[in-house]
Structure 1
Amino acid sequence: MHRTEVVVTGLGAITPLGADVASTWNALLAGESGIRGSVLREHEGVGLPDTVAGTMAVDPAGLLPPVQARRLDRSQQAALAAAAEAWADAGAPEVDQNRLASAIGTGIGGVRTLLKEDDVLEAAGTRRVSPRTVPMLMPNAAAALISIEYGARAGVYTPVSACSSGAEAIALGARLIRAGEADVVIAGGTDAAITPITVAGFAQAQALSRHTAEPASASRPFATDRSGFVLGEGAAVVVLESADHANARRARVHAVVAGAGIAADAHHITAPAADGSGQISAMRKALAQAGLTPGQVSHINAHATGTPAGDVAEAHAIREVFGCATVTAPKAALGHLFGAAGAIEALIACLSVEHGVIPPTRNLTEVGVDPDINLDVVTERREVPQEAVLSNSFGFGGQNVSLIVTSGRHHASRTAPTGP
């Protein structure tokens, strides 16, 4: 039975590697790093560890009108900047506002505003707190602001599912289109949570990389000596359309969102299930929705944060579904963008199928891949046709999302099984 096909017509991003999609993609392919040292230096007095992080390559406030930027949290600034690029890349489609929706995930929302205004309250009292505090800190603000900016009245959605938030927003956007509730959805993720409290919390949980002497090599997914992840920040947004809507306006198609799988571990608030059951289920659901077999997936964009246990757990789950698959791990270059991670990595997957390139994984050429991983980890860019790419995003709480994007070259004639 024919199913409404969802295509990607617009891409936008601001990341540690670049101020837009092109600069991010080119830096990733070149094997560059967006990880920087001496972050949060002004807070050394509270005993923070030496902090390296993937701060955005440019200040997102500089990409917006000054008055607007001052009224937004950094995470909201990033989301609006990425959305503007994605909307322009899609050709600013004419769409009935009642058929246009917004879905922007985040892990935490405006935490920088929350902390800043709490400091103001304690130092100067209630009357000095900004009247804009609540709209600047609320997690749904980025999605709402994008809805306002583009007149999206079909719904405004904010998945808050830790590290899988951005991927879940894209899955939700595709579902809205397939359900006939929207023709176009602006979807993605954003986070800007490099703060003393988040660094301290993750450090106390022993989750952060200890390789801080050389920031560019701190994030080491799949490496034998990996010791934890590296904090990152940024946003990524895609414009999703029904194929009929995109065809009617002769839009360029970057890729097709062919399948999405969402599953829960129901196991532990931070640790993945030992048997990988939730991750395995998410990947198999995505394959089933896409109507693909494991052998038809060209490579996997792994969640791979660089934690000792997490990378092995994901590798086990991937082998269970795909065998010794080809994988790449962009967090080695980007750091972990939390609520934006799934969105930027889905965007990278779209570019992979569009250009026929698998991006390299940094920081493995000298230390090597952990033998327990037992996957084909790409360490130098590979130029080979990519018909289907699976992107994994797994979050605290046992929240697992897998997306499959396929080539947009033949999207008009594609059919797939029915499903949400």
Structure 2
Amino acid sequence: MLKALRVRLYPTPEQAHFLRGQFGAVRFVWNKGLYLKRHFYRVKGTNLDPVHDLKKLLAVAKRHPKYAWLKDYDSMALQESLRNLGSAFSRFFKKQAGFPHFKSRRGEQSSYHCTCVSVGEDFIKVPKMDPIKAVIHRQVEGKVKSITLKLDTCGDFFASILYDDGKSNAVKPKAVRVSEVVGFDVGLKSFGTDSNGRKIEAPKAYRRARKRLAKAQRSLSRKQKGSANREKARRRLAKQHRRVARIRKDFLNKVSRKLVNESQALVVETLKIKNMLKNHHLAGAIADASWGEFVRMTEYKAEREGRYVVHVDTYFPSSKTCSQCGYKRDELDLSVRSWTCPKCGAHLDRDVNAAVNLKAEGIRMLRANGLVVLRA
């Protein structure tokens, strides 16, 4: 099983200087490759492939006095930059992402290393560098496959360690109990509600930090471009954004872990988040909730633990259907948080009702796929 671990690095001043040069070389290869691909297509109508065509030019460039400085840095990291460029264009042509853009030294920097890498008790080792001091907060058990070095917008260094622990994912059971199937309905008023009636409140990190972010942004806008004070203000703003991202990520990890541990099968609704973000009144709250990242975390945790994650269709009327008798309403406005069924008279909480309906639909889908669902 492949696992990833992100650790903080504390390089010496000399190592930090070299790492910035490494990031600059990777960024230069990306930008040069992007420029050549665009130029040859516009001028000559030739579509250069970053891997098969541009990678050959990299070896030629190193022999030229103008680009000989590239030899000082890890060749595999430079080649990986071109492979990433090829992947970026593939995603663009598949309409999965926008057109690749030139990289700036002010953004997040990274370089990929896959040969001559190792991890010790308090250091990591990558090519062309002495061991870099690191805080290894979790033991790396297995073979290290690659290490990706990163410099975030706050100026701090990190390393993402990919390793194979030699273990396989847990085997999923052929039978699950109804009591251990959990329906989970995400929302905005509360982050989510499960089919047992438990509501989980979101930290709403961005909403709570808006004043601090606005203050830091105003401070940045007043500084003269290119000045040292502007760089300090930029880093202060970046640290505020990083704090928001960390609060959100910590919350999502804890919630997804708790739900996976407490269930054999978790049922969630498939959401078209990109379409939902077009609603400018709710876009900020939806982005702050980060439902897509929550589902991603839940899926990989469930895969490791041998649990099921069931995705119910987007158009399944979980909120408009009475979970007691099956009566379906024609319309249900978002402002309506509870309603009474005109058929059976049950008073229903909107979110709890949706979670219960998701659980019932998830059980039906599990049985349709040949899984035994025990009533006990």
TM-score category of the 2 structures, normalised to the smaller one: under 0.3
Greater helix share, structure number: 2
| Structure 2 length-normalised TM | 0.22
| Structure 1 length-normalised TM | 0.21
